[in-house]
Amino acid sequence: MNSNIGTQATASKPRRQYRYYDLVMVAFVVVLVCSNLIGPGKVTQISLPVVGTLTFGAGVLFFPISFIFGDILTEVYGYASSRRVIWAGFAGLAFASVMAWMVVALPAAPFWHDQAAYESVYGSTWRIALASLIAFWCGEFVNSYVMAKMKILTQGRWLWTRTIGSTLSGEAVDSILFFPLAFYGSGEFPDDKMAMIVLAQFLAKVGVEVVFTPATYKIVAWLKAAEHEDYYDYNTDFNPFTLNA
């Protein structure tokens, strides 16, 4: 084991309370809900040297931050603690989707003339909302699982290999599931362009993770020192359908 403050799961040793775990969880859920509720409402286009013109949903710039928080949670607190946060994020995203649907469906007052604009931003179909939930759930659990296993494999060294490696896995699952489930056959995107769209979104999300790697290093180091924790998932139950920590 690389760290002298590392811990490992045992059946008899309960998890202790942490100072910043709840704050990281709140940050994760806020980023997740905002990036899924606010970001998709706008399609942006920018021109870059060499690359050319890029067109993408604005949310792609912020959604990967939830994976960064997932990396931090798993690296410091372990898979089981991250699992609880993923379920909290899932519940928050589900509530936001239901709330958006209900608010859009409520009849508008006769003097209020912004219903069409409101629907264009928050009126996601049930198909898109369900695809988002499924893709998030699967992608985040894959991300956390790979992160935890790679930490043991690398004996706590080379954090960048875990953050990028887990993101490659998690974001691949998220992108491959979301776009076909949400849009295939809908006519919103050409079906023959779906693979290209998935690849572009995947590369953009991984790129955000790479850019934020130095910040991830600093946050992880600070949290490990502040919490006196560096969790190793040697005996962890990786079943995603439990909230036991």
Question: Which CATH architecture describes the domain 6-107+116-232?
Answer: Orthogonal Bundle (1.10)
The rounded distance, in Å, linking the Cα atoms of 231 and 73 is: 10
CB 143 within 8 A of CB 169: yes
CB 170 within 8 A of CB 139: yes
Question: Phi and psi of 154, rounded to 5°?
Answer: -90, 0
The pLDDT value recorded for residue 2 is 46
The rounded distance, in Å, linking the Cα atoms of 15 and 9 is: 8
Find tokens 């690389």 and name the residue.
Answer: 2
Sketch the domain layout of the chain as residue ranges.
Answer: 6-107+116-232
Nearest to 148 by CA among 140, 132, 211, 17: 140
Strands 52-57 and 230-232: unpaired
Nearest to 236 by CA among 5, 57, 9: 9
Residue 25 has which token pair? Answer: 């969880």
Find tokens 């799961």 and name the residue.
Answer: 9
The pLDDT value recorded for residue 225 is 97
Find tokens 């202790």 and name the residue.
Answer: 16
Question: Phi and psi of 54, rounded to 5°?
Answer: -115, 135
Tens-of-pLDDT digits for all 245 residues of the chain? 444 445 554 444 556 789 999 999 999 999 999 888 887 667 777 887 877 787 777 777 888 889 999 999 999 999 999 999 999 999 999 999 999 899 999 999 999 999 998 888 888 778 888 999 999 999 999 999 999 999 999 999 999 999 999 999 999 999 999 989 988 887 777 888 888 888 888 988 899 889 999 999 999 999 999 999 999 999 999 999 998 87
The pLDDT value recorded for residue 240 is 96
Q: At what angle do helices 64-77 and 194-211 cross, to 10 degrees?
A: 50
Q: At what angle do helices 126-153 and 79-105 cross, to 10 degrees?
A: 170
CA 14-228-151 angle, 5° bins: 80
Residue 110 has which token pair? Answer: 């006769």
